[in-house]
RNA sequence: GGGGUCAUAGCUCAGUUGGAUAGAGCAACGGAUUUCUAAUCCGUAGGUCGUAGGUUCGAAUCCUACUGGCCCUGCCA
C-alpha cells in the first residue's frame, strides 16, 4: 500500500484552507514523512513551521488548528504536537492489522502500483564483447537489472537493452592478433580464451609502444615542471608572503611530483618489458601497431570480406562467453542490440545533423558545438570513421522510433557524464524533447588502497574468478559442517551447492547495490561474504527462518495449517514495528525509483530483517499464549517472508528455503 | 587553465527534494542460550558532519570562498 499517500490525503483538506494553490499544497504535504526516531512518532508533519509566514500565527497555534481539523478516523491512535510545532502521528494497531491483512490477501504483498504507467528504455551492462568482463562491469549490470525490476514491479512498461560493444577497435585488435599471433590448436579448443589472449598480446605491444613514443615528451615535461618549481622557489624566497605565489608554488610542486612519478613508472614498465627479449622482438616486428589495428578496424567497417568473415566467426563465441556470465548472474535482457546493429544508420545521422545545421566541419572532423562546453562533440573523425557518440545518437533515435519511451535511462559509469550531457543536448536540438533522458551514473569500485580496483600487476580483475571466489567463500561459511550439525540440519550436496551459489552471488550483488549509487566504494570480499551486518546473507537467513517456522507449524509436532484463515493481531511493540515496516514496502520502492537508488531498497530490507529478528526474539510464534496468537504470528511471519523474498528478487538476489 | 564530484565514529558506509538529541555494520567491551535456525538478540563506548562565512523558525543537507582526494577536459569506448 501507499502508506504515505494515505496519510497525506488526510491532511489535504485541512491544509488547503491556507494553501489553495495545488503546487504549494503538494509541497506542504510532502513535508509529512516517516519519523526518523520511532520513539517520537511513526509519522511526523513538518508543516506548521513553514506556514507561519503565510498564516501569520505562531507554529504551535497552527499545529493546534491542524490537529483540530484532522479527521484521521481509524488510521491513528494518537495525534500530538511536539517541539517547535511538529504534528506527530501514531498509527493505530487496528489499522496496521487490517492493512497487513489486506497485504496478505494480495498477490503482490499489497502493492497498488503506478497510477500512470510509463515506458522506460534502460540501457545497462553494455560490455565490449571481445574483452574479458571485469569487476567494472558488475555495477552497471547489477544496478540496471535492479532498477528495471523495481520499475516493472511497480507496473511500468520496461524495455531493457544491452548495448554491446561488438563493433569497435577491440575487434581490430583481435583480428590483427588472429592474423599474426594465433595458436590454431588453442583456438580450436577454447576460442574465447585464445581471443582473450590475443587481445592482451596486442594490447601489451600497443601499451609498450605508446610508452616508448611518449617517453621523450614525458622527460621534457618532467624537466620543465622541475624548472618551474625551481624558479618559483627562488621567487618565493624573495617574497615569502605573496599568497598567490604560495599557491602557484604548491601546484607546481604537485605537478613536478606527478610528472616525475609518471616518468619513473614509465621507465620501470619499459625496463620490465625490455627484459623479455621475445616480446621486444615482437614489438620490432610490428611497429606502429596501434595504427595497424585501426586499419583492420577500418577495413571491417568498410565491409572487407576477410575481416567481416573473422568478425562473424568471433562474435558468436564472444557472445556465448558473456551469456554464460549473465546466466550465472541471473540477468536477462529484452534486447541485445549492439553497436554493429546501428552501423548502417550512422551516415544518416551525420546527414541529419548537417542538414539541420547542428554539425560543422572543424579541423578535418565533423563536430557539434554546444553552449557551455569547451570541446565539441565529435561525430566523425578526420579519417571518416564514426565514434561512439555517433552510435549513441543513432541508438537514441532508433529507440525513439521503435519504443516511443517516456524515459531513457543509461546506467553508465560517472566518468562519462560529460559525454551524456552533450549527447542529451544534441538530442534535444534534434527535437527529442518529450522523452526524458537520464544518465544514471555510478561511482568507481576501489581497491583496499583507495585506487580503482585492479590486480597487483595493474590488470583488471576478471568477473568469472571473482564470482567463483565469492561462491567458494559462501560455501565455507554456510556449509560449515559444525554449523549445520549444531541445529541438526542435513543438506544434500546439491542443496549445499545451490545455497553457496545463491549466497555468494547475492553477496556480490548486495554489496554493490547497498552502497549509494553515485559514490565510489571499496571492494572488500571478506566483508561482503561475511554474512553478518548489512549483507545479503543476513536477509536471506532471515527469510530462511520465516520458512523454518512455517515448516514446523505444519509439521508433525504442531500440525497447524489453518493460519491463513485467522486474523492478524498487533499488540506487542515488536509486532507493530514489523507490521509498519511491511506496510512501507511500496513507499520504499517509489522513493527508490525517484532517483533510481537501489540502496533505498537494501536499507529497507536490512531494517525489515532486523525487525524480524527482534520479533523472533521477543515474540514466540509456535509457543505463543493462545491459538489465535499463534495463528496471527504465523501469518505475520509468512507475510514478512513474502516481502523479504519479493524485495530480494527486485535486487536480483535469490532466496533459499533453508540455510 | 576550465568543469564535475566527493570529504560524516578507529575502519567501511547510510543519512535525496532543509526538520526534533547525526545513524548502521565491523572492530572493542558487557549481558542473554535446556533455541520456533546464536549466521541471533539486548546494552556500553566512540563525532567541532574537511575549514570559514552566508541564507532562515531550523543546515551534515542549500549558497560562496578555501583546503584536500578522485574524475573529465577535440578525433578510444
CA A18, CA A27: separation in Å to the nearest integer?
13
Q: Which class is domain A463-650?
A: mainly alpha
Chain A window 380-409: residues with CB closer than 7 Å to nucleic chain B are 381-383, 387-388, 391
Residues 123-142 of A with CB under 7 A from strand B: 128
Confirm if A134 and A458 have CB atoms less than 8 A apart. Answer: no
Q: Could you tell me where the beta strands, DSSP code E, fall in A192-261?
A: none
Distances (CA, A) of A398 to A107, A458, A471: 37, 38, 40
Task: Pick the closest to residue A605 from A581, A639, A636 (CA basis).
Answer: A581
- Name the nucleotide with the smallest C1'–CA separation from A82: B20
Task: Please provide the DSSP assignment of A148-178 as one string.
Answer: HHHHHHTT-EEEEE---B-SSHHHHHHHHHH
**A107-117 tens-digit pLDDT:** 999 999 999 99
Tell me what pLDDT residue A383 has. 86
A478 CA to B45 C1' distance (Å) = 32
> Please, which positions of strand B sit below 7 A from a protein CB?
1-2, 4-7, 12-17, 19-20, 23-27, 35-42, 57-58, 67-77
Report pLDDT digits (tens) over A274-288: 899 999 999 999 988
Q: Name the nucleotide with the smallest C1'–CA separation from A39.
A: B20
Q: Which three cell numbers stand for residue A243?
A: 599568497
* Grid cell listed for A221: 615535461
> What is the average pLDDT across A15-28?
91
The Cα–Cα gap between A217 and A541 comes to: 58
Angle at which helix A136-153 crosses helix A598-618, to 10 degrees, equals 70
- ipTM of the complex model: 0.95
* Residue A314 reports pLDDT greater than 90: yes
Could you tell me which residues come within 8 angstroms of residue A183 by beta carbon, excluding any fewer than 6 positions away? Answer: A194, A197
**Separation in Å: B12 C1' and A477 CA:** 21
CA distance A601 to A343: 39
Selection from A106, A109, A96 nearest residue A632 by Cα: A96
C-alpha R_g of chain A: 30
Q: Residues A90, A94, A99, A103: what is their CA dihedral angle, to the nearest 10 degrees?
A: 130
For residue A164, report the phi and psi dihedrals to the nearest 5 degrees.
-60, 140
pLDDT above 90: percentage of residues in chain A: 69
**What burial class does residue A443 get, using C-beta atoms within 10 Å of its C-beta: 0-12 exposed, 13-18 middle, 19+ buried?**
middle
Bridge partners, residue A86, by sequence: A82
Cell of A411: 546506467
Strand B proximal to A537 Cβ, under 7 A: yes
A634 touches strand B (CB under 7 A): no
Q: Which CATH architecture has domain A3-91?
A: 2-Layer Sandwich (3.30)
Residue A455 — very low, low, confident or very high, per pLDDT cuts 50/70/90?
Answer: low
The model's pLDDT over A188-207, given as tens digits with 9 standing for 90+, comes to 999 988 998 998 899 889 98
Instruction: Provide the terminal-to-terminal Cα distance of chain A, rounded to the nearest Å.
Output: 31
Domain map (residue ranges) of chain A? 3-91, 119-169+312-356+387-446, 170-289, 463-650
Q: What's the grid cell of residue A440?
A: 544514471
Q: What is the mean pLDDT of residues A206-218?
A: 85
pLDDT in tens, A73-122: 899 999 999 988 999 999 999 999 999 999 999 999 999 999 999 999 99
Q: Which CATH architecture has domain A119-169+312-356+387-446?
A: 3-Layer(aba) Sandwich (3.40)
Amino acid at each position: 500500500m501507499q502508506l504515505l499517500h494515505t496519510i497525506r490525503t488526510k491532511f489535504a483538506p485541512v491544509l488547503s484552507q491556507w494553501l489553495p494553490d495545488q503546487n504549494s499544497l503538494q509541497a506542504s504535504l510532502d513535508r509529512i514523512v516517516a519519523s526518523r526516531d520511532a520513539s517520537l512518532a511513526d509519522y511526523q508533519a513538518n508543516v506548521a513551521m513553514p506556514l507561519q509566514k503565510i498564516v501569520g500565527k505562531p507554529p504551535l497555534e497552527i499545529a493546534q488548528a491542524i490537529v483540530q481539523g484532522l479527521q484521521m478516523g481509524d488510521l491513528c491512535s494518537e495525534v500530538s504536537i511536539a517541539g517547535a510545532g511538529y504534528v506527530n502521528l501514531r498509527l493505530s494497531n487496528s489499522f496496521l492489522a487490517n492493512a497487513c491483512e489486506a497485504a496478505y490477501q494480495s498477490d503482490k504483498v499489497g502493492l497498488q502500483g503506478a497510477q500512470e504507467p510509463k515506458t522506460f528504455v534502460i540501457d545497462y551492462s553494455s560490455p565490449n564483447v571481445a574483452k574479458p568482463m571485469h569487476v567494472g562491469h558488475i555495477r552497471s549490470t547489477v544496478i540496471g537489472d535492479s532498477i528495471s525490476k523495481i520499475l516493472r514491479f511497480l507496473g511500468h512498461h520496461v524495455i531493457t537493452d544491452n548495448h554491446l560493444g561488438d563493433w569497435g577497435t577491440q575487434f581490430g585488435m583481435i583480428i590483427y592478433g588472429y592474423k599474426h599471433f594465433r595458436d590454431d590448436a588453442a583456438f580450436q579448443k577454447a576460442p574465447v580464451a585464445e581471443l582473450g589472449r590475443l587481445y592482451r598480446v596486442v594490447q601489451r605491444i600497443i601499451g609498450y609502444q605508446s610508452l616508448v613514443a611518449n617517453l621523450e615528451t614525458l622527460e621534457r615535461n618532467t624537466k620543465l615542471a622541475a624548472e618551474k618549481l625551481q624558479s618559483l622557489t627562488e621567487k618565493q624566497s624573495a617574497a615569502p608572503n605573496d599568497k598567490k605565489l604560495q599557491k602557484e608554488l604548491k601546484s607546481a610542486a604537485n605537478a613536478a611530483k606527478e610528472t616525475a612519478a609518471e616518468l619513473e613508472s614509465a621507465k620501470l614498465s619499459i625496463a620490465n618489458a625490455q627484459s623479455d627479449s621475445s616480446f621486444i622482438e615482437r614489438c620490432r616486428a610490428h611497429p606502429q601497431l596501434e595504427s595497424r589495428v585501426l586499419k583492420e578496424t577500418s577495413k571491417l567497417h568498410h565491409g572487407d570480406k576477410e575481416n567481416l568473415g573473422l568478425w562473424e566467426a568471433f562474435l558468436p563465441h564472444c557472445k556465448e562467453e558473456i551469456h554464460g556470465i549473465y546466466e550465472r548472474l541471473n540477468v536477462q535482457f529484452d534486447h541485445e542490440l549492439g553497436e554493429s546493429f546501428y552501423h548502417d544508420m550512422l551516415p544518416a545521422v551525420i546527414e541529419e545533423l548537417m542538414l539541420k545545421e547542428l554539425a560543422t566541419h572543424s579541423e578535418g572532423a565533423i563536430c557539434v558545438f554546444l553552449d557551455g562546453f569547451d570541446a565539441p562533440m565529435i561525430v566523425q573523425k578526420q579519417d571518416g570513421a564514426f565514434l561512439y557518440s555517433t552510435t549513441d545518437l543513432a541508438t537514441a533515435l532508433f529507440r525513439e522510433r521503435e519504443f516511443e519511451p517516456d524515459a531513457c535511462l543509461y546506467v553508465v559509469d560517472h566518468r562519462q557524464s560529460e559525454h551524456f550531457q552533450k549527447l542529451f543536448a544534441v538530442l534535444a536540438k534534434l527535437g527529442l524533447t518529450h522523452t526524458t533522458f537520464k544518465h544514471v551514473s555510478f561511482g568507481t569500485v576501489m581497491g583496499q588502497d583507495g585506487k580503482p580496483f585492479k590486480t597487483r600487476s595493474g590488470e583488471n580483475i576478471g568477473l568469472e574468478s571473482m564470482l567463483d571466489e565469492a561462491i567458494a567463500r559462501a560455501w565455507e561459511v554456510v556449509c560449515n559442517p559444525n554449523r549445520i550439525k549444531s541445529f541438526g540440519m542435513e543438506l544434500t550436496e546439491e542443496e549445499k551447492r545451490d545455497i553457496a551459489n545463491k549466497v555468494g552471488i547475492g553477496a556480490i550483488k548486495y554489496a554493490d547495490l547497498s552502497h549509494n549509487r553515485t559514490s565510489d566504494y571499496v571492494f572488500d570480499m571478506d566483508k561482503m561474504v561475511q554474512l553478518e551486518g548489512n549483507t545479503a546473507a543476513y536477509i536471506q537467513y532471515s527469510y530462511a527462518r520465516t520458512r523454518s517456522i512455517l515448516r514446523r507449524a505444519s509439521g508433525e509436532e504442531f500440525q497447524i495449517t489453518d493460519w491463513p484463515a485467522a486474523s492478524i493481531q498487533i499488540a506487542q511493540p515488536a509486532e507493530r514495528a514489523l507490521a509498519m515496516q511491511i506496510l512501507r514496502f511500496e513507499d520504499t520502492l517509489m522513493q527508490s525509483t525517484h532517483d533510481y537508488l537501489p540502496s533505498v531498497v537494501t536499507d529497507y530490507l536490512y531494517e525489515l530483517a532486523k525487525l524480524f529478528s527482534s520479533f523472533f526474539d521477543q515474540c514466540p510464534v509456535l509457543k505463543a499464549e493462545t491459538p489465535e496468537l499463534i495463528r496471527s504470528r504465523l501469518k505475520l511471519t509468512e507475510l514478512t517472508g513474502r516481502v523479504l523474498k519479493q524485495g530480494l528478487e527486485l535486487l536480483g538476489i535469490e532466496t533459499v528455503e533453508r540455510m
